[in-house]
Amino acid sequence: MSTPVLSVRNLRVEFPTRRGTLVAVDDVSFDIAPGEVLGVVGESGAGKSMTGTAVIGLLEPPGHIAGGQVWLQGERIDTLPPEKMRRVRGKRIGMVFQDPLTSLNPLYRVGEQLIETIRTHTDASPAEARKRSIGLLEAAGIQGAARRIDSYPHEFSGGMRQRVVIALALAAEPDLIIADEPTTALDVSIQAQIIQLLKTLCRERGAAIMLITHDMGVIAETADRVAVMYAGRIAEIGPVRDVVQRPQHPYTKGLMGSIPTLEMDGGRLLQIPGSMPRLTAIPNGCAFHPRCDFVFDRCRTERPNPMPSGASAVACWLADPKNGSPRVDREATAAQAKSPT
């Protein structure tokens, strides 16, 4: 098997505070292969963006990586000094943020920003960099790129700005693209175009994508595999078809059940009771157990790690073969409780 583009092992991110240390990301592990799209999904506060920020080395102090390892193409990068990490971030890792204006300087023409990025990380001459910039804009779906390259960011629509950001992220031909909510501010038709663009460009170049979003619809259409996060940990990770069609973790089942479908006859969507715990109040055992219909004693005292279950890995004691009967009994009880009398 080829070396993963990105390999994260037991990542832990902490924030020291006056009231104690808050753990924002807790023992997270995953790989992304060349040309693969890994979707990372979950509620707000689940740790999705914090994981991506830690990988790219942009944690705001006092936040820091307190444990684990981050490997890029077989090279460990979480221990690199800031100057070396800055070169890695520009050359080998590209970032697409939710708001394009976060990445684009409004005072400079888009061409100037693309050319500067290319020349910083390659040996291209100004003329070569400009030619490559036009090619990137054309590949990103911007018509009249030779003319629009001299426009300022405010002269583009929101969807076009996001295309410029994608071109900027790909300018140095990175190994990895981290896309953090890249379509949230866009309408549905533009969302589909941006997602297809990311997939096409990265697969043509063999790059990997870590796609962070709260939208399971985007994940289902885009990702090869999906990691579902809850309270700073991975609840379930596996092929997107398996996770969407046959979710195993109770939290994933709740997420899938809350998505309306065309086949629905107007019935109520599934609702997960309660809310995600604050970082200052993560419960003992499985963090999801106060909201879970299938909870039993072990869930309240022991925190499960992802364990193999078919093609997926599930951080739930129901997936532990040693438990045997609790899964059947709990699911039967829940089904009886929800059935009409």
How much is the pLDDT for 9? 97
Comparing 7 with 334, the larger pLDDT belongs to 7
Number of domains in the chain: 1
**Residue 60 lies inside a defined structural domain of this protein:** no
**Residue 95 lies inside a defined structural domain of this protein:** no
- With a cut of 70, say whether residue 242 has pLDDT above it: yes
The whole model's pTM is what? 0.88
**Residue 334 lies inside a defined structural domain of this protein:** yes
Q: What is the mean pLDDT of the chain?
A: 87
8-state DSSP, 338: H
Q: Please write the tens of the pLDDT for every residue from 170-203.
A: 888 899 999 998 877 677 777 777 788 778 877 7
Q: Which of 219-228, 261-270, 283-292, 300-309 has the lowest mean pLDDT?
A: 261-270
**Residue 79 lies inside a defined structural domain of this protein:** no
**Residue 80 lies inside a defined structural domain of this protein:** no
- With a cut of 50, say whether residue 328 has pLDDT above it: no
Give the mean model confidence (pLDDT) for residues 291-305.
94
Give the mean model confidence (pLDDT) for residues 298-317.
95
How much is the pLDDT for 192? 78
**Residue 292 lies inside a defined structural domain of this protein:** yes
State phi, psi for 115 to the nearest 5 degrees: -65, -45
3-state DSSP helix/strand/coil % of the chain, to nearest 5? 40, 20, 40
How much is the pLDDT for 229? 96
How much is the pLDDT for 264? 59
Spatial CA neighbour of 178 closest among 28, 297, 325, 40: 40
Nearest-angstrom CA–CA distance, 247 and 315: 12
Domain that holds residue 331: 234-260+271-338
Helices marked H in 259-338 — which ranges? 297-301, 325-338
**Residue 310 lies inside a defined structural domain of this protein:** yes
- With a cut of 70, say whether residue 55 has pLDDT above it: yes
**Residue 119 lies inside a defined structural domain of this protein:** no
Nearest-angstrom CA–CA distance, 187 and 199: 18
